[in-house]
Amino acid sequence: MISLSSGILSIVGLAFVVLFGLLMVVLPVIKRPRPGRDLRPLRALTRLRHALSLTVEAGTRFHISLGRGEITHPRTASAFVGLSAAHRLVEATAISDRPAIITAGTGPLGILARSTLHSAYATGAQTNRYRPAYGRVTGLTPFAYAAGAMLAARDDAAAANFLSGSFGAEVALMADGMAGEDTLTVGGTDSVAAQAVLYAAADEPLIGEEVFASGAYLNAGALHGTSLLTQDIFRWLLILAIVGGAIVKMLGVLP
């Protein structure tokens, strides 16, 4: 039996999701997206794009770290964004002498990493160059994963590291271990504590929802740009609702 209040909340929640989805689909029809031109400058992602062109030209390696998100948990969302970005990065570096590698800290993410790698190589018609070893599970506990990912980046001489997924404080060790004279580490996660740690330890941290914007900045897919715009619209709506609610409460209209 569903109570009236939880029923109303469910309808509001579903309406929120449906409206979000509708806007994502309708916005590109109203305003034709111009990939890469409608985006505000984000230093971390601009440097990531620059590093991508450098790795292709200089033949250096890209390392994408997906963290330890469980697929049955909402915290995997940042790893899924990492996979979208990884598809684009792998596709761009597939013809390079030193193709990109992906590390994961759970079995499911390891499988998805290999699937993404295979798919990216297939998109670039480079299937013969694909090696399963480019996608690795480097450890199954937080610190084991951190140590394994650090070693993978070091051993394969990664010049750029992109950390996008679910991490804990151990991400500081990873960022520190991957740091070098000519390396770039861009990191983003959904955990507030890990974001604070990345702010201090990474070359370029991605704060808040910035980690979810990487796909749009790397042209990972048609809906990435519009979903970013939809996020912005809903963020402003939420800000208005919070400020409005605070004013109404101050005026004593709400109990």
Partner 1 sequence: MKMKSPLATAVAMAVGLVVLFGYFFPLPVFTGLRTLLLQWALILAGTALFVGMVNLSQYHWAQIRNRRKPLGSLVVMISLWLTFALALYASPASAPIQWLFNAIIVPTSVALLGLLAFTLAYAAVRLPRRRPGLMAVLFLGTAVLIMLGAVALPGMGMLPFIGDTLRPWLAQVPAAAGARGILLGVALGTVATGLRILLGSDRPYGE
Nearer to partner 1, 12 or 57 (CB): 12
**Min CB(56)–partner 1 separation in Å:** 21
Least separation in angstroms between residue 176's CB and partner 1 is 5
Q: DSSP assignment, residue 41? A: P
Q: What is the largest CA-CA distance in the chain?
A: 69
- 192's torsion region: left (phi>0), alpha (psi -120 to 50) or beta? alpha
126 binds partner 1, rule: CB under 8 A: no
Q: How many residues bind partner 1 (CB under 8 A)?
A: 82
Q: Which of residues 177-196 bind partner 1 (CB under 8 A)?
A: 190, 192, 195
Residues in 33-62 at the binding interface with partner 1, rule: CB under 8 A = none
Site for partner 1 in 104-123 (CB under 8 A): 104, 106-108, 110-112, 114-116, 118-119, 122-123
Instruction: Name residues whose C-beta falls within 8 Å of residue 213's C-beta, 6 or more positions apart in sequence.
Output: 39, 42, 45, 206, 228
Q: How far is the CB of 39 from partner 1 (least distance, A)?
A: 15
b/e burial code for range 210-249 (CB count within 10 A of at least 16 → b): bbbbbbbbbebeebbbbbbbbbeeeeeeeeeeeeeeeeee
Applying the rule CB under 8 A, the residues between 74 and 103 that interact with partner 1 are 74, 77-78, 80-81, 83-84
How many beta carbons lie within 10 A of that of residue 126, not counting itself? 15
**Residue 14 C-beta: closest distance to partner 1, Å:** 5
Strands (E), 58-112: 61-67, 101-104
132 belongs to the binding site for partner 1 (CB under 8 A): yes
Please give the residues from 195 up to 234 whose contact with partner 1 meets the rule CB under 8 A: 195, 197, 199-201, 203, 207-209, 211-213, 215, 221-224, 227-228, 230-231, 234
Residue 6, C-beta contacts closer than 8 angstroms, at least 6 positions apart: none
**Residue 21 C-beta: closest distance to partner 1, Å:** 5
